[in-house]
Amino acid sequence: MKNELAKIIVDLYRKDCEVDIDIQDVSFLFFSSRMSDILFVFIKGNKQPKYVLKVSQDEIKIEHIKKEWDILTGISRFNAGILHKTFPLPLYSGVVNGHYLFVEEACKGIPLVNFMYSKRNKRKEICNVLRSTTEWISELHRVSFLENVSIDNFLSAGWVMKIIESFGSLHNLTDQENQFIRELMQLNNLKVPLVTQHSDFSPYNMFCDKTGKALFVLDWQYSVLRGSPLVDLLNFLVFSQSLLSNPGRSARKRINLKSFFANIYNILPDQDDFINTFYGNGWFSRFASDCIKEYCNKISLDRGVLRLIFILFIFRHLYNKKDFFATFVGKGDPVFIKAMNT
């Protein structure tokens, strides 16, 4: 099967670069993920992969592979302005020896997580990354807007109710907390914009140039075209806080930043990262609040919708921990919600 895959790559490379190569010039680096087997495709003489090939025989994994292909095909029409050449272009899909596969463009630049880790003590550079990322995700959500739906329609979506029901079933909620959830779900005359949601938007799934500004976003297999606004930005901010505030944990986990596979594994934020991001008194929390306000202004998010999405985000990520929800109920809205117009 290796030769069959190499022939596909040779044909793609000839069309892409107008250069003739042989199958002996193609090599693969294998990595197995939960959703597919991944082959990083290298062309002789290059240290960085040229293509990424995702393949599987498993029906469930094939569905995820096809989903990512559909997402990338769909968002390719937004390939303009600050979004130009910032996500992988889908290049080929088909079946080889009973294996479904698709080939996409490989990442360009350096892993954003490496850049942020190396600049963790340089506030200006980190703020530039946060600002440019906010602009990028704001633009993606602006151009991918589908429609505004009522709160009732938004809440009736399966994933929304599943989050709320799962959280409630795991914890013995107080009367005050149950009342809070009921009131949250009884918002009237508010609309939620549906946008393309990446769903795993973090520094670990992004590349950048040497300045940290030009972005390239990968791993779209969890994405949805009718997704929630804001969630991607909240996720990016929490993961960034975790990376910057826990350099020792990051170093121990990653061990060798020069390793190719070190860029694939990420470090999940803990509850303190959520609290420090949204309720902290430091510069990161203040700047994160400014990023969220900037995003909401560009997407025209209402304060009530912002509050609802923020709580759903917390439920989804900290579903097995009640403390943060208790913190929210006790402390009230974070600064970025209080600052929004009603």
Q: At 148, which CATH number?
A: 3.90.1200
Structure token digits, residue 304:
């009530």
Shared domain check, 304 and 190: yes
Strands 99-105 and 215-217: unpaired
Q: Confidence class of residue 100 from pLDDT cuts 50, 70 and 90?
A: very high
User: Three-state SS for 172?
Assistant: coil
How far, in Å, CA of 112 to CA of 118, rounded? Answer: 10
Shared domain check, 176 and 86: no
For 254, which DSSP code? H
How far, in Å, CA of 15 to CA of 41, rounded? Answer: 16
Q: How many domains does the chain have?
A: 2
Shared domain check, 87 and 178: no
Q: Confidence class of residue 333 from pLDDT cuts 50, 70 and 90?
A: confident
Shared domain check, 120 and 85: no
| Degrees, nearest 5: CA angle 305-307-310 | 105
Shared domain check, 116 and 101: no
Shared domain check, 16 and 138: no
Could you list the residue range(s) of the whole structural domain that residue 40 is in? Answer: 2-105
How far, in Å, CA of 113 to CA of 126, rounded? Answer: 11
pLDDT digit string, tens, across residues 76-97: 889 889 999 999 999 999 999 9
Shared domain check, 122 and 56: no
* pLDDT of 16: 87
Structure token digits, residue 166:
């799962």
Shared domain check, 211 and 81: no
265: pLDDT strictly greater than 70: no
329: Cβ contacts below 8 Å, ≥ 6 apart = 176, 177, 180
* pLDDT of 255: 40
The reported pTM is 0.89
What phi and psi values does residue 100 have, to the nearest 5 degrees? -80, 140
75, 105, 135 - which closes a domain = 105
Percentage of residues of the chain with pLDDT beyond 70: 92
Shared domain check, 175 and 303: yes
* pLDDT of 23: 94
Q: At 77, which CATH number?
A: 3.30.200.20
Shared domain check, 130 and 75: no
pLDDT digit string, tens, across residues 171-181: 788 888 888 87
Q: What sections of the chain are H helices per DSSP?
A: 2-17, 59-75, 112-118, 123-143, 151-155, 158-170, 175-184, 231-245, 247-254, 271-279, 283-299, 303-317, 323-331, 335-338
pLDDT digit string, tens, across residues 199-256: 999 999 999 998 888 789 999 988 999 999 999 999 999 999 999 987 555 444 444 4
71, 105, 139 - which closes a domain = 105
* Pair 316, 163: CB distance under 8 Å: yes
More confident residue, 162 or 301: 301
* pLDDT of 160: 76
More confident residue, 324 or 104: 104
Integer angstrom CA distances of residue 231 from 87, 163, 238, 247, 305: 19, 14, 11, 25, 12
298: pLDDT strictly greater than 90: yes
Shared domain check, 123 and 13: no
Burial class of 328 by CB neighbour count within 10 A (0 to 12, 13 to 18, 19+): buried
Element containing residue 56 per DSSP (H, E): strand 51-56
105, 129, 147 - which closes a domain = 105
